[in-house]
Amino acid sequence: MRTFKTCRSRSLPFRLLMILAGALLLLAAFAPGANADLLRFYDFEGPPTAPYPVGLNSDPPALEQGVGFTANLTTTGNAQYPPIRTSAELGLPENLPPGAGQNLHSLGIHRSGAGELNINMPFFSSTGIYDVTSVSFAVAANGNGFAFVQLTMSTDGGLTFNGIPGTPRQLIPNGPGTVLTFNVASGTTLNIPNLVLQLHFTGGQSNGVDLQNQIDNIQVNGTAVPEPTTFAGGLLGILGLCWFQRRRLIRGVRWRRT
């Protein structure tokens, strides 16, 4: 019996070591940083977002989906983009990520010469957790619509927008569908609690009612670093589990020795 008790007691450090190793593995899941993800995906599917004829929510397979991550459309002076200049058109087949749903609709644009189009995508968080590394989308042009697009950002919740270094405006080519991509240097959008990204379309060439542009499948890629409260909560939970298991094992050894 004495030998058995000694072996059981000597196994306690090994068990505690295993618990610690497991805790470290769990802690890694809470540690800041991750591989680049599809943070948002605006494919203009789903129920229309009033007053527009297409859905403006972020959809699968994005990391963030639903009405809490809705885009909005504005024009010159941050005024609401007139719904009369928009329509629901057939979806563009370009820039579809794996796991995307039905590709039925795209955002149609008419009367582009009446004013700029801004597609605003809010990325609000209490501490600024979003590290956006690229924004891409599919676009079609019939020769008399918007001529240019630029990726801009706001640090004040959408009141003012400025260009992003290294992401100059791009020419929108004519044709049935192409993909335009803006690459953003890592760290540019971090630590901005009131971040809003904007696709800024300019150079509209016609006030006609014909279909001039189609926009579809906006992908915003990057990393969402866990909030400090989430990280701290996970750490406290892991430490509590370790302490509980340690006390239980010690009580088990003492019980066997009696």
Nearest to 164 by CA among 129, 194, 199, 138: 199
Torsion sign over Cα 91, 111, 167, 128: negative
The model's pLDDT over 86-130, given as tens digits with 9 standing for 90+, comes to 999 999 999 999 999 999 999 999 999 999 999 999 999 999 999
The model's pLDDT over 215-251, given as tens digits with 9 standing for 90+, comes to 999 999 999 987 544 434 444 455 555 555 555 555 5
Please give the pLDDT value at position 225. Answer: 87
The model's pLDDT over 15-44, given as tens digits with 9 standing for 90+, comes to 555 554 554 454 444 444 444 799 999 999
Domain boundaries, the chain: 14-31+229-257, 37-225
Tokens of 157: 């919740």
Q: Is 58 helix (H, G, I), strand (E, B) or coil?
A: strand
Question: How far is 52 from 119, CA to CA, in rounded Å?
Answer: 13
Q: 55 pLDDT exceeds 90?
A: yes
Q: Quote the radius of gyration of the chain (alpha carbons, Å).
A: 26
DSSP 208-234: SSS--EEEEEEEEEEEEPPPHHHHHHH
Own/partner contacts of 19-24, CB < 8 Å, gap of 24 or more, are 19/241, 19/242, 19/245, 19/246, 20/242, 23/238, 23/239, 23/241, 23/242
Looking at the domain that runs over 37-225, which CATH code has it been given?
2.60.120.260
Nearest to 201 by CA among 104, 114, 124, 122: 114
Across 129-152, average pLDDT: 97
Please give the pLDDT value at position 202. Answer: 98
Q: 1 pLDDT exceeds 60?
A: no
Please give the pLDDT value at position 29. Answer: 43
- Judged on CB neighbours under 10 Å (0-12, 13-18, 19+), 2 is exposed
Q: 132 pLDDT exceeds 60?
A: yes
Q: What's the predicted TM-score (pTM) here?
A: 0.78
